[in-house]
Amino acid sequence: MRALAAFAFIEKWAAGGRLPDMLAAFSALIAQFGPTMAASAIVVGFGPSRRYRFLFNTWPPELLVHYDADAVFDRDFTIQAAYRRHTPFCFREVYPDPVKEAALYERFQKDGARFGIEDGFAVPIHSPLGFFGMVTMSSPVRMQLDAAERAALAAAAVTIFEHFRRSADGTLGAERPAMTARESDCMGHVALGRTDDEIAAALGIAPSTVRHHVDNVRAKLGAATRAEAIALLAHFGEI
């Protein structure tokens, strides 16, 4: 029955709708599985220039303040687990090792007790378009999901994620660049792993000109490296 409720959610909202109404419906859906709050985030970029933002969040204000003020994002074990997985998982299935990850274990225990989180369900979303995303649902009780329920709940999470992501495309810290034809040509070759000399030979221009065009695109994107520029261009569908 719970799996059918998730499929009904997908059927109703697959074509989109008002995002606040969709989020309210999603909150009502996940309550049937145990979770009482949900959040979704998207990450763009690499290393120190990596940026993240929440797409939606139904956490209590005090949890959100704690998360931001204490820079929990970079130490959140669910996020670290999601980076390494492509399939959905319950929090307790990737519970931090109390010996090897003592600090992480202590934080999870402390935050869980403080905010009433005993377990949850996370849906990693690895995109070929240069971003990583996830949807998490936090529960005050242990999650009990069969295979059909996992699949249905994950599909519902991806449905709402996609609508919120599309709405947020213009606010992720970088804007779709207005590239010249030559800049686009150069970045297309960079995406294929070619060197400046190889690109110059292919386009009939000097290597210094290639570097000039690539640097222009990086500046337009605010990208620290060529790799980050390529990821952002992929996100915007430019390559």
Residue 224 is predicted with a pLDDT of 78
Query: 2-171 in CATH: which number?
Result: 3.30.450.80
Which option is the CATH number for 181-235: 3.20.20.140, 3.40.50.300, 1.10.10.10, 3.40.30.10?
A: 1.10.10.10
**Contact at 8 Å (CB) between 105 and 96?**
yes
Q: Can you give the pLDDT at residue 70?
A: 61
Domain coordinates in residue numbering, the chain: 2-171, 181-235
**pLDDT computed for residue 96 by the predictor:** 66
pLDDT score recorded for residue 74? 62
Contact predicate 173/222, CB 8 Å: yes
Nearest to 154 by CA among 24, 20, 30, 36: 30
Q: List 132's β-bridge partners, or say none.
A: 43, 126
Question: What pLDDT score does 188 carry?
Answer: 93
- Cβ atoms 220, 232 nearer than 8 A: no
pTM: 0.73
Chunked into runs of 10 residues, the chain (239 residues) has average pLDDT values of 95 94 97 96 68 87 77 70 88 76 74 87 82 91 95 97 82 70 94 94 95 92 82 75
pLDDT value at residue 210: 95
Q: Are strands 119-126 and 89-90 parallel, antiparallel or unpaired?
A: antiparallel
Predicted pLDDT at 47 = 57
Non-local (6+) Cβ contacts of 221 within 8 A are 174, 175, 177, 228, 229, 232, 233
Question: What is the pLDDT, as a whole number, of residue 65?
Answer: 81
At residue 207, the pLDDT reads 94
